[in-house]
Amino acid sequence: MRDAAAVRAVSLVPSLTEAVALSVPGALVAATDWCERPAGLDVPRIGGTKNPDTGRILTLSPDLVIANEEENRAADLAALREAGVEVLVTEVRSVPQAFGELERVLRACGARSRPRWLDEAEETWSRLSAPEHRTTAVVPVWRRPWMVLGRDTFAGDVLARLGVDNLYAAHAERYPRVPVDELRAAGPGVVVLPDEPYRFTADDGPEAFPGLRCALVDGRHLTWYGPSLGEAPIVLGAALRAARQGIPPHGMPPHRA
């Protein structure tokens, strides 16, 4: 294990930025423009997750670049490796996998022990009771064109553990493009609308699904694997229960069965 004081890490993944900044203070020497947590993180910004400035990264002489196989482009990671930088690439497609990958990242960044928040989050998920009622969902993640969660996704596993079964979980693609009329015709028990990567709001999204219950959810709790995992079951569970009960998202007229 490296000495934490000697690690110079660059994070290309917002959720991992938050995890490292809170658990190994001082290890991060740069992060992406999208790394908004923790609030007040004062490190150089090196572009977006899909278009990082690899030249700028190299000038910072990092010991390690933290990436994700889904979030970041293979070409950028290959360029960094070719320049002699170690790149740690995570793969997270389930809640248990998230905990293992978080521990791997934090140790690579010099953490001497497992942070308490990680233990508490894992315990929260392990003690989660089996849902009394299950429902089905479509989960748009983009609009124009409409894209939804498909097979083998972290967010899909999160929802499944909370009693919500993704109707496109068996699709051949992980993020298929599906016309909105097809989404409506699928007859989901709830339409789950996160605020990232596309920012769905009460005025942008639910109106496309008239007659269907919609749940506006915090994308950080649905798609991030980091400190937010500890509170995700409570926050997401409340939004999903409200939708199942016909309580509309803020600003929406009441659902009529």
Q: Could you tell me which residues come within 8 angstroms of residue 94 by beta carbon, excluding any fewer than 6 positions away?
A: 154, 157
For residue 181, how many other CB atoms are within 10 A of its CB?
A: 10
- Same domain for 229 and 117, yes or no, is no
Q: What dihedral do alpha carbons 176, 132, 130, 104 form, nearest 10°? A: 40
CATH number, position 106: 3.40.50.1980
The domain total for the chain is 2
Say if residue 251's pLDDT is above 50: no
Is 251 part of a structural domain of the chain?
no
- Same domain for 163 and 67, yes or no, is no
- Same domain for 119 and 19, yes or no, is yes
Closest CA to 195 of 223, 229, 160, 167: 223
| Residue 40, domain extent | 4-125
More confident residue, 138 or 255: 138
- Is the separation of the CB atoms in 136 and 164 below 8 Å? yes
pLDDT digits (tens, 9 = 90+) for 201-236: 999 999 999 999 999 999 999 999 999 999 999 999
106 membership: H or E segment, kind and range:
helix 95-108
Q: Which of 95, 125, 155 is the last residue of a domain?
A: 125
CA end-to-end distance (rounded Å), the chain: 58
Q: What is the pLDDT of residue 176?
A: 98
Instruction: Tokens for 10, please give them.
Output: 């660059």
